[in-house]
């Protein structure tokens, strides 16, 4: 599988991505953007130092002026692009993927990378036709500046007790320190940087990975907990009873806070619970569903000037920033709790999410994927519904919906469905099984 994805460059190290590949990426980026000034960072993965060095060498060998901003969470790169005199930037990271993965995220300007930009980098990197012009390399300790900016933005009005689970990732030394500077009491969990991620999987959106932080919140009587992903741009919250809060409910709380005085559009991925759309309408905003994927959500978020946007995966975007930041989200949640003077469990109790499946991932060869989509779409001939092909096929009924889409990382299809009642949800999934017998085994294994 190609390392050039829709939103970034990513693969297994060293089998799919290695120093030579990343060196070529660096040369390609500098060739496509002559004499560009770039900030370059990297996460805590074991392969990151070598890959980052290769990326920087490639950039410099084709004329870029590189500022090495050190080991950083990805949101610190976004902060750098706003506050440094640079044309763009890159960071070596594989985000929430397992330890064996690594990759490169890059940006020029405010907008995220699109498919055409990724194809251009791939074409130049593959051709070997690079610009030859010696660039330069300097270093800047950016992390203290990023942390200080957050500490100035947020001040605790109540001394909440917060469990910070950094998952041994890039927020390990950053998040606890910033929370303390803001005036909160912090209890640390998995806050030693370790690219092997020994504490838990780096993807906190897999709620099954959060047993340790849930238990620590309960045992310590904390007000809430937060779990970050590997590069710190995602966050998942745990209420004071030690229960993971689904990300749609967290987004609803942000919507209620940020649209209270000035309703704006809100962007969210189309597989989100209908509770999100309902909350936007209740606050006088405009619901803007978008296809899943960081770059798609971010682009639409910027285009419609939304106050907030979110993904089921735990990305939360804020109009104050112009990008997503897991730590900013966590500090906003703490501020929200201080203002509400209610526990997180009470705030989420009134958010009703209809019965919904998790993402059900099903192996499917690339050659068969379009047939699967067409088979699902054909259900509309027998059952009254709206058909959307924004990303895959989504069938929207009066009392529920079904979404089937291609995975961007593997030979898989991903299914999700929601309905007003458990009985209707089972009926919708039975429709899927009838149209796609291949899906029956995966649905049964998931309890459906």
Which residue is listed with tokens 């209620």?
Answer: 256
Catalytic residues, which ones?
95
Q: Give the list of residues 6+ apart from residue 282 with CB closer than 8 angstroms, or none.
A: none
Tokens for 122, please give them: 């791939």
In Å, how far are 82, 164, 379, 380 from 416, measured between CA atoms? 36, 30, 16, 17
Q: Name the CA radius of gyration of the chain, rounded.
A: 22
Total number of residues shown for the chain: 448
Judge whether 230 and 94 are in contact, CB under 8 Å. yes
**Nearest-angstrom CA–CA distance, 402 and 384:** 13
- Long-range contacts of the stretch 209-212 (C-beta < 8 A, 24+): 210/165, 210/236, 210/238, 210/244, 212/165
- Tell me the sheet residues that pair with 326: none
Dihedral of CA atoms 320, 323, 329, 332 in degrees, nearest 10, equals: 0
In Å, how far are 69, 74, 137, 142, 338 from 80, measured between CA atoms? 9, 10, 16, 8, 29
For residue 273, with 0-12 CB atoms within 10 Å meaning exposed, 13-18 middle and 19 or more buried, which class applies?
A: buried
**Nearest-angstrom CA–CA distance, 270 and 47:** 34
């Amino acid at each position: 599988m190609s390392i050039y994805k829709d939103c970034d460059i990513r693969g297994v190290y060293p089998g799919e991505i290695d120093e030579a590949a990343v060196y070529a990426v660096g040369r390609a980026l500098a060739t496509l953007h002559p004499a560009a000034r770039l900030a370059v960072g990297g996460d805590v993965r074991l392969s990151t130092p070598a890959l980052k060095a290769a990326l920087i060498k490639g950039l410099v060998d084709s004329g870029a002026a590189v500022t090495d901003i050190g080991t950083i969470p990805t949101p610190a790169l976004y902060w750098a692009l706003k506050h440094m005199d640079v044309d763009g930037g890159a960071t070596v990271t594989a985000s929430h993927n397992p330890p064996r993965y690594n990759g490169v995220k890059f940006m020029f300007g405010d907008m995220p990378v699109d498919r055409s930009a990724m194809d251009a980098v791939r074409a130049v990197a593959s051709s070997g036709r690079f610009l030859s012009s010696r660039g330069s390399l300097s270093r800047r300790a950016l992390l203290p500046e990023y942390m200080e900016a957050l500490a100035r933005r947020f001040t605790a009005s109540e001394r909440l007790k917060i469990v910070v689970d950094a998952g041994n990732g890039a927020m390990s030394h950053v998040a606890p320190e910033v929370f303390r500077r803001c005036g909160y009491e912090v209890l640390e969990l998995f806050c030693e940087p370790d690219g092997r991620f020994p504490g838990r999987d780096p993807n906190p959106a897999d709620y099954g990975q959060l047993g340790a932080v849930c238990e620590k919140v309960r045992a310590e009587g904390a007000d809430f907990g937060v779990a970050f992903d590997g590069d710190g741009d995602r966050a998942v919250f745990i209420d004071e009873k030690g229960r993971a809060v689904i990300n749609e409910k967290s987004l609803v709380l942000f919507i209620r806070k940020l649209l209270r005085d000035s309703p704006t559009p809100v962007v969210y991925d189309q597989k989100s619970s209908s509770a999100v759309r309902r909350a936007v309408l209740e606050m006088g905003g405009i619901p803007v569903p978008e296809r899943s994927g960081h770059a798609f959500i971010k682009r639409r978020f910027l285009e419609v000037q939304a106050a907030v946007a979110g993904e089921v995966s735990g990305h939360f975007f804020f109009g104050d920033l112009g990008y997503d930041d897991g730590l900013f989200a966590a500090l906003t949640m703490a501020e929200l709790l201080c203002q509400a003077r209610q526990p997180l469990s009470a705030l989420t109790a009134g958010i009703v999410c209809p019965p919904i499946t998790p993402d059900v991932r099903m192996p499917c060869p690339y050659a068969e994927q379009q047939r699967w989509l067409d088979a699902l779409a054909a259900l509309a001939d027998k059952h009254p519904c709206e058909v959307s092909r924004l990303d895959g096929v989504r069938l929207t009924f009066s009392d529920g919906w079904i979404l089937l889409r291609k995975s961007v990382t593997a030979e898989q299809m991903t299914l999700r469905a929601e309905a007003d009642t458990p009985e209707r949800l089972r009926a919708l999934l039975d429709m899927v099984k009838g149209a796609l017998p291949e899906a029956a085994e995966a649905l049964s294994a998931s309890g459906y």
